[in-house]
Amino acid sequence: MIDIQSQSDTRAIALLKVGVKGLEYPIRVLDKMKKIQYTTAHVDLYANVLPCFKGTHMSRFIEVFHQYREDISMHRFLDMLRQVRSSLEAESAFGQVSFPFFIEKAAPVSGLMGMMSYQCHYQGRVDSSGRQFTVTISVPLTTVCPCSKAISSRGAHNQRGMVTVNLELGPFFWIEDIIALVEDCASSPVYALLKREDEKYVTEQAYDNPKFVEDLVRDVYTSIRALQQFPSFSVEAETYESIHNHNAFAYTEYHRG
């Protein structure tokens, strides 16, 4: 049959990204405790199109991704992009996969188990100059305001927040280890299931460990840099303020060398 996409185009305009966006797909990722975990991904895949070509072959993105769905671990993600580039005879290939990552987490006192969800993103690019790959992990947590605690005779305002780290891939790492590192920097982690004894513990733990968003970002930054594992990374924190009509935010980044 005639291949319209491969026909020439006379407008001489290069397209930097062409592909499929918003693909929902079941995938399998690595799990530190259970070895594998099944989840559902939101997938965007692109390649460049040279000015001499009319378009790309959209079906090939799905064909390639389908082959990798059972093992979309970090290094395999780059293998998948290299195959996208080769299959489409493109100069560059790009991709993003977003998915919820689940951890079974025990309540701190009762020990009852519940499932926590953490949003993760893989983002990558492969071209003739090399590759780039980052992993983004968002971790919900609790903070207590140090200022409120210092000036109030009864209590202190507290709120949920979110710390998001973006990590350039160096050596292999476990998503669970980064989540634990971030939670250790919070006033308190959050849980899916709490009984009264757990709620008492979490409330008092947070009160004894107040944190500004600035503290969160600096503490997470220090802990990640101490790993000496990532060529570059960024840390941001946003707290959903309970007594203000706005959120509090802080951000910083690191680049080796």
175 vs 243: CA distance, rounded Å: 33
Better pLDDT: 144 or 14: 144
Would you state the pLDDT for residue 167? 98
Residue 256 pLDDT exceeds 70: yes
pLDDT at 90 over 80: yes
Q: Which pLDDT value is given to residue 1?
A: 61
Residue 235: is its pLDDT beyond 60? yes
pLDDT of residue 67: 95
Mean pLDDT value of segment 68-73:
91
How far apart are alpha carbons 136 and 6 in whole angstroms? Answer: 36
Q: Which two tokens stand for residue 212?
A: 């500004």
Task: Judge whether residue 10 has pLDDT over 70.
Answer: no
pLDDT band with cut points at 50, 70 and 90 for residue 219: very high
Q: To the nearest whole number, what is the mean pLDDT of the chain?
A: 93
pLDDT tops 60 at residue 4:
no
* Choice among 73-77, 102-106, 170-174 with the minimum mean pLDDT: 73-77
**How is the chain split into domains, by residue range?**
15-255
pLDDT for res 74: 84
Of 10-19, 38-47, 98-107, 206-215, which range is least confident?
10-19
Query: pTM for this one?
Result: 0.93
In which band, very low, low, confident or very high, does the pLDDT at 184 lie, cut at 50, 70 and 90? very high
Indicate the pLDDT class of residue 179, thresholds 50, 70 and 90: very high
Helix (H, G, I), strand (E, B), or coil: what is residue 222? helix
The model's confidence at residue 73, banded by pLDDT at 50, 70 and 90, is confident
Mean pLDDT on 178-190: 97
Whether 40 shows a pLDDT value over 90: the answer reads yes
Residue 2 has pLDDT above 60, yes or no: no
Q: Which CATH class, in words, describes the domain spanning 15-255?
A: alpha beta
pLDDT at 155: 86
What is the phi/psi pair of residue 227, to 5°?
A: -70, -25
Helix extents (H) in 39-171: 58-68, 74-87, 146-151
Residue listed under structure tokens 């290299």: 82
Can you give the pLDDT at residue 91?
Answer: 93
End-to-end CA distance of the chain: 54
pLDDT, tens digit, 9 for 90 and up, residues 127-169: 988 899 999 999 999 999 999 999 999 989 999 999 999 999 9
Q: How many Å apart are CA 62 and CA 165, to the nearest integer?
A: 29
